[in-house]
Amino acid sequence: MRISLPTESELEKGSSLGRDAWARLRKNKLAMLSMCFIGLMLIICFIVAQLPFIDDPNEQNLENRFAPPSGDHIMGTDQLGRDLFSRILFGGQISMLVGFIATGVALLIGITYGAISGYAGGRTDAIMMRVVDTLYAIPFLVLVIVLKVVIAGPMEEQLKWMGRFANIVPLFFAIGALGWLTLARITRTQVMAIKEQEFVEAATSLGLSKMRILFRHIVPNTLGPAIVYATLTIPSFILFEASLSYLGVGIEAPNSSWGILIKEGADFLETQLYLLIIPGLFFSLTLFAFNFLGDGLRDALDVRASKD
């Protein structure tokens, strides 16, 4: 039996969080399967789409619209006679990007903001949360229209080198920058509960700096709900992008995204159901994968569960 006290760094570190988490994640078959699926989707959308035998997603053949799946068009053609498969591939690029970038931005801002607010408490917390309340109440549409005028226009010039992504990347940052509010509230509530627990008191009594306690000890414990919520925001961001396109601030037609394809497909519920079902399948399967992966991550990162 060792009697010597652990050093400060040993206490703080415990076992390596990242490595443990990965080991646990690998045991979760569903999560691993989901990860493979997402990888596959990424490959299909970003690499296969570049192959020469994939049709131009914007080439029209009006006489051949609503063509059922066939050798020429394996998923048929859309309302303007464009190849649905290649539209799904190219649309996938944009949907993946919006999912990753916007959610990343929202996570970063939301968790940091919520954690600081919850941990600081008192007046700081009150002010920070009232700011969130204020932002909540402002209609998204107004912000987005203003954003378009004030930011998107000038930024587009700067980003010309990104080619067809030039007018969408700033947009994705904007979506993330507007979508972190709920995340902040959730994190804050978690932090408030956790900061009263024994291990935090222990860390405080060891004289660790506040920042260190917050980001090394408390925040990792709040990641569970945050990651769950983040996986939920991916679909809402992807869909939100579709509605933005209708306000003239989304991606420029004839480019497409899964959200837009679904929205267009919804107009053919009575007549051409496949225009909704096929892109809908790609969309929902990918989202299923994101969510099961999110669950897996949540379980893997669950710090206390690891102490079994």
Partner 1 sequence: MRFVPALILTITALFLVSCSQDSPVSRATKQKVLLMGNTAEPRGLDPHIVSGVLENNIIRGLFEGLVTEHPSKDGIALPGVAESWGPTDPKNPIEWIFNLRKEAKWSDGVPLTADDFLFSFKRILTPELGSEYSFMLYYIIGAEDFHKGKTKDFSTVKVSAPDSHTLKVNLRSPIPFLPEITKHYTWFPVPKHIIEKHGKPEDRFNPWTKPQNIQSNGAFTLKSWKLNDHIEIQRNPLYWDTKNVALNGIRFLPISNSFTEDRMFYNEQLHITYTIAPDLIEYSRKNFKDMTRNEFYFGTYFIRCNVKKGPLQDVRIREALSITINQQDIIDFVTMGNQSPAAGIVPPFAGYNSPGNIKFDPERAKKLLGDAGYSEGNGFPKIKFLTTDRESSKRLAEALQAMWKKYLGIEISIQQMEWTSYLNTMMSKDYDLAAGGWIGDYMDPLTFLDMWIKDGGNNRTNWSNERFEELLGEAEKTAGQKERYEILGRAEKLFLDERPILPIYWYTRNYLIHNHVKGWDPLILDNHPYKFLDLVAD
Partner 2 sequence: MLKYILQRLLQGLLVMAALYTIVFFLVGWMPGDPFSSNEKNISPEVRENMKKAWGLDKPLWQQYLIYPKNLITEGSLGVSTEKNRPVWDIILQSFPASLILGVSALFIAVGIGVPIGILSATKKNTAIDYGGMAIAMIGICIPSFIIGPVLQLTLAAKIPALKIAGWGHPLDIILPSITLGLGTAAYLARLTRGSMLEILNQDYIRTAKAKGLKTFSVVIKHALRGGLLPSVAFIGPAFAALISGSFIVETIFQVPGMGQHFVNAAIKRDPFVLRGVVLFYGLLIVFMNLAADLIAAALNPRIRLEKT
Q: Which residues bind partner 1 (CB under 8 A)?
A: 58-60, 62-63, 65, 79-81, 145, 148-149, 245-248, 250, 252-254, 264, 267-268, 270-271
Taking CB within 5 to 8 Å according to partner kind, which of partner 2, partner 1, none is near residue 129? Answer: partner 2
CB of 72 to partner 1, least distance (A): 18
- Cβ(222)–Cβ(191) below 8 Å: yes
CB of 116 to partner 1, least distance (A): 36
CB of 68 to partner 1, least distance (A): 16
Pick from 78, 82, 90, 88: nearest CA to 275: 78
- Cβ(300)–Cβ(28) below 8 Å: yes
Q: What is the dihedral of CA 133, 139, 141, 145, to 10 degrees?
A: -70
CB of 212 to partner 2, least distance (A): 22
Task: Output phi, psi for 94, to 5 deg.
Answer: -70, -40
CA distance 215 to 294: 21
Binding residues for partner 2, rule: CB under 8 A, are 30, 121-123, 125-126, 129-131, 133-134, 136-139, 141-143, 145-146, 149-150, 181-182, 185-186, 188-190, 192-193, 196-197, 224-225, 227-229, 231-232, 235-236, 239, 262-263, 266, 269-270, 276, 280, 283-284, 287-288, 291-292, 295, 298-299, 302, 304-305
Query: Cα dist. 221→163, 186, 191, 216 in Å?
Result: 41, 13, 8, 9
Taking CB within 5 to 8 Å according to partner kind, which of partner 1, partner 2, none is near residue 63? Answer: partner 1
Nearer residue to partner 2 within complex by CB, 172 or 283: 283
Nearer residue to partner 2 within complex by CB, 10 or 308: 308
What Rg value do the Cα atoms of the chain yield, rounded? 23
CA distance 109 to 112: 5
Q: Which two tokens stand for residue 112?
A: 């940091």
CB of 145 to partner 2, least distance (A): 5
Taking CB within 5 to 8 Å according to partner kind, which of partner 1, partner 2, none is near residue 245? Answer: partner 1
CB of 126 to partner 2, least distance (A): 5
Q: How far is CA 40 from the centre of its chain?
A: 18
Give residue 56's region: left, alpha or beta (phi > 0; psi -120 to 50): beta
Nearer residue to partner 1 within complex by CB, 199 or 268: 268
Q: Which two tokens stand for residue 133?
A: 């309340």
- Cβ(76)–Cβ(68) below 8 Å: yes
Nearer residue to partner 2 within complex by CB, 21 or 83: 21
Q: Which two tokens stand for residue 303?
A: 């710090």
CA distance 251 to 236: 17
Nearer residue to partner 2 within complex by CB, 104 or 225: 225
Taking CB within 5 to 8 Å according to partner kind, which of partner 1, partner 2, none is near residue 69? Answer: none
CB of 271 to partner 1, least distance (A): 5
Nearer residue to partner 2 within complex by CB, 67 or 192: 192
Taking CB within 5 to 8 Å according to partner kind, which of partner 2, partner 1, none is near residue 137? Answer: partner 2
Taking CB within 5 to 8 Å according to partner kind, which of partner 2, partner 1, none is near residue 112? Answer: none
In sequence order, the 6+-apart residues with CB closer than 8 A to the CB of 279 are 84, 88, 91, 258, 261, 262, 265
